[in-house]
Amino acid sequence: MMVKSLLDICADCLAIYADNYLSDIRTLPVGLKDKLLHRMTSRGTVTDMNIGQLLHPGIQQLDLRGCQVSDLALRQISCPQLKMIMLASRRITSEGVMSLASSCPCLQVVDLGECDEVTNEGVEALAHSCRDLQVVSLRSCYTVGDTALLALADNCRLHTAHLSGTQITDKGITGLVGRCSNTLHELQVARCPNLTDETVRSVFTNCPHLRRFVFNDCPQITEQCWLSSMQNFVGQGKVQDVTWTIY
């Protein structure tokens, strides 16, 4: 059995009782902060109160999906080298996302899945400030629609877009695939009630590098359209992974 080092034991203990030592954490060397932050994010103990003491300008990845954070935490993230952030909190709104976008212009991967208080305004801020954005998840952001999607299409060259459970329409998808046709590899639009056969035809026709397309639980997409598309666009050297629902 591997015995933990004294440093690891101390880091584990500090991760549990971090809120009692915030002033001490602020002065830790960067390497120790990274070790502590990794432990605390995995335990879900990063909060609005302690995140400011844990961060430093050189951080490139931040996974807060299991943490109880809100807009207050996002306003404390000033990490110009941050490339990836994962969030899943219903306490986060567009105000927090706008602050994040202005402070972290190098973001490439942003996961806002389940952040259902985020609206078009927040996503548009990301699109305008973070031009290197390649992967975005807006899963279950119920009020996000075409305005946000078109802003992303105009300003970013997306590789992966998870848009399930949003209010996007054929117009938004057509704009996305028209501008990101050569970069888009994965598109998920499950549970989008406004999409029709036009979306399926547009995606299959305009995205030669697409490898995964998910559009299950979209009641306006017909079986006839899917069968026609499957014959022409699915198979070896084409789209490899497709998920859909026939009504």
Higher pLDDT, 223 or 113: 113
pLDDT-based confidence at 3, cuts 50/70/90?
A: low
- The partner residues of 213 in beta bridges, in order of sequence, read 187, 242
Domains identified in the chain and CATH numbers: 1-56 (no CATH), 59-243 (3.80.10.10)
Tell me how far apart the alpha carbons of residues 163 and 110 are, in angstroms, rounded to a whole number.
12
Asked if the model's pLDDT at residue 15 lies above 80, the reply is: no
Maximum distance among all Cα pairs of the chain, rounded to whole angstroms: 64
Q: What is the b/e burial string over 79-105, where b = at least 16 CB atoms within 10 angstroms of the residue's CB? A: beebbbbbbbbeebbbbbbbbbbebbe
Tell me how far apart the alpha carbons of residues 93 and 77 are, in angstroms, rounded to a whole number.
15
CA-atom Rg of the chain in angstroms: 20
Higher pLDDT, 14 or 207: 207
Tokens for 192? Answer: 């989008």
- According to the model, what pLDDT value does residue 166 have? 98
pLDDT tens profile 130-156: 999 999 999 999 999 999 999 999 999
Tell me how far apart the alpha carbons of residues 195 and 7 are, in angstroms, rounded to a whole number.
54
Mean of the pLDDT values across residues 186-191? 96
Q: What is the mean pLDDT of the chain?
A: 91
* String of DSSP letters for 54-117: H--TT--EEE-TTSB--HHHHTT---TT--EEE---TT-BHHHHHHHHHH-TT--EEE-TT-TB
**Contact indicator for 84, 107 with CB cutoff of 8 Å:** yes
Mean of the pLDDT values across residues 67-95? 96
Tokens for 152? Answer: 């992303």
pLDDT tens profile 32-49: 899 999 999 999 999 999
Asked if the model's pLDDT at residue 123 lies above 80, the reply is: yes
Higher pLDDT, 244 or 80: 80
Tokens for 168? Answer: 């996007």
